[in-house]
Amino acid sequence: MLPKIPIAHLPTPIEELPALSERLGGPRLLIKRDDQTGLAFGGNKTRKLEYLLAQAQEGGAKLLITTGAGQSNHCRQTAAAAARFGFDCALVLAGEEPEKITSNLLLDRLLGAEIVWTKPEKRDETLRAVFSQAEETGRRPFLIPYGGSSAVGASAYAFAIRELSGQLPAPPDWIVFASSSGGTQAGLVAGARLFDVKSQILGISVDEPSPVLGSRIADLTSEVTDALGEKIAFSPEEILVNDEYTGAGYGVMDKPEHEAMHLFAKTEGILLDPVYTGRAAAGLIDLVRQGFFSPEETVLFWHTGGTPALFAEKYAKIIAS
Ligand SMILES: Cc1ncc(COP(=O)(O)O)c(C=O)c1O
């Protein structure tokens, strides 16, 4: 069994979405509330960090280093976990430092993270430099990979699907969610196989074409099963990724995300974010309208968090329109 530090409020609740289902004329809809994992506005990275921090602690690390976009949810949750468990935290953020410090970036500051800005194309180089400098100065760094998506981090979602199957009398026919670095999906697919949960696991790609993401997830899923002591080889054909909703690219909010966010908010009082869950929900809504799911099926939307991005200036204006 992998060592873990309990951080998240688990199990996260599962709720019915009857008004949304009625509005869409669709199948039974459920939602798993990983936006409520309890650490600094929650989200899917909290589960991964339970295993990654245990790994860091075992190795005697003192400084957690990770990377992401300027408004990274992963970085914000890493900064919070570091603060809570007595690590220093350095974040390598890709992009231009904005004039206004809002949302996740504001929280990174509040949580005491050291921030290093880098051009996106120099991200890995900068990360290596920050890591080496920390080693040389005796700060005992531990690298948390992009999205927390190492085999150890992703294993958290194998346990998450076991948690889900214990909460319901029967597993949902479909599990739909936002997929980006692929760790969440790899963990869910590995867990479904290892714990015999017979749901179809459909990732809505946030930014990458299905072949790229599918093959990365297949490899990572095999690594997750290996980390959990039962190596199984997965092929890309076994990984369901839909890339039809990537729109104008990462972080570009458009009409589908706007509609999905307003529908979830106005029918169920549930807040989605513009980058990940808004996009995945737009995919879910479109698939329901296309008749992709049959009326007697149950579809679970796994809410992966990200809500602080609602308050980023560039999105707030569009959301309010
Ligand atoms: C809110 C939210 N949802 C989904 C994802 C995607 O998860 P994964 O990187 O494990 O594919 C992320 C990743 O940053 C996220 O912040």
Q: Which residues of 114-128 are buried (b: 16+ CB within 10 A; e: fewer)?
A: bbbebeeeebeebbe
Q: Are 278 and 315 in contact (CB under 8 A)?
A: no
- Looking from the CA of residue 149, the nearest atom of ligand 1 is 10
Q: How far is the CA of 183 from the centre of ligand 1 (A)?
A: 8
pLDDT tens readout for residues 44-56: 999 999 999 999 9
Q: Are 149 and 217 in contact (CB under 8 A)?
A: no
State yes or no: pLDDT of 313 exceeds 90.
no
Q: How far is the CA of 181 from the centre of ligand 1 (A)?
A: 7
State yes or no: pLDDT of 172 exceeds 90.
yes
The mean per-residue pLDDT over the stretch 5-15 comes to: 98
| Residues shown for the chain | 321
Could you tell me if the CB of 251 is within 6 A of ligand 1? Answer: no
Give me the catalytic one of 72, 103, 155, 210. Answer: 72
State yes or no: pLDDT of 1 exceeds 90.
no
Q: What is the C-alpha separation between 206 and 219, in angstroms, rounded? A: 19
pLDDT tens readout for residues 111-149: 999 999 999 999 999 999 999 999 999 999 999 999 999
State yes or no: pLDDT of 42 exceeds 90.
yes
Query: Which run of H or of E encompasses 299?
Result: strand 298-303
Q: What is the C-alpha separation between 253 and 256, in angstroms, rounded? A: 8
Q: What is the pLDDT of residue 224?
A: 98
Could you tell me if the CB of 305 is within 6 A of ligand 1? Answer: yes
Could you tell me if the CB of 147 is within 6 A of ligand 1? Answer: yes
Helix (H/G/I), strand (E/B), else coil: 303: strand
Listed in order, strand segments (DSSP E) in 96-250 are: 114-118, 141-143, 174-179, 200-205, 240-242
Could you tell me if the CB of 141 is within 6 A of ligand 1? Answer: no
Rounded mean pLDDT of the chain?
A: 97
| End-to-end Cα spacing for the chain | 49
What tokens does 5 get? 């530090």
Residues 6+ apart with CB under 8 A from 106: none
The mean per-residue pLDDT over the stretch 182-210 comes to: 98
8-state DSSP, 207: S
Parallel, antiparallel, or unpaired: how do β-strands 141-143 and 63-69 relate?
Answer: parallel
Kindly list the structural domains of the chain, giving each domain's residue range(s) and its CATH number in brackets, ordered by start.
Answer: 14-43+149-320 (3.40.50.1100), 45-147 (3.40.50.1100)
- Looking from the CA of residue 304, the nearest atom of ligand 1 is 3
| Residue type at position 281 | A
Could you tell me if the CB of 308 is within 6 A of ligand 1? Answer: no
pLDDT tens readout for residues 274-304: 999 999 999 999 999 999 999 999 999 999 9
Q: How far is the CA of 182 from the centre of ligand 1 (A)?
A: 8
Q: Is 210 a catalytic residue?
A: no
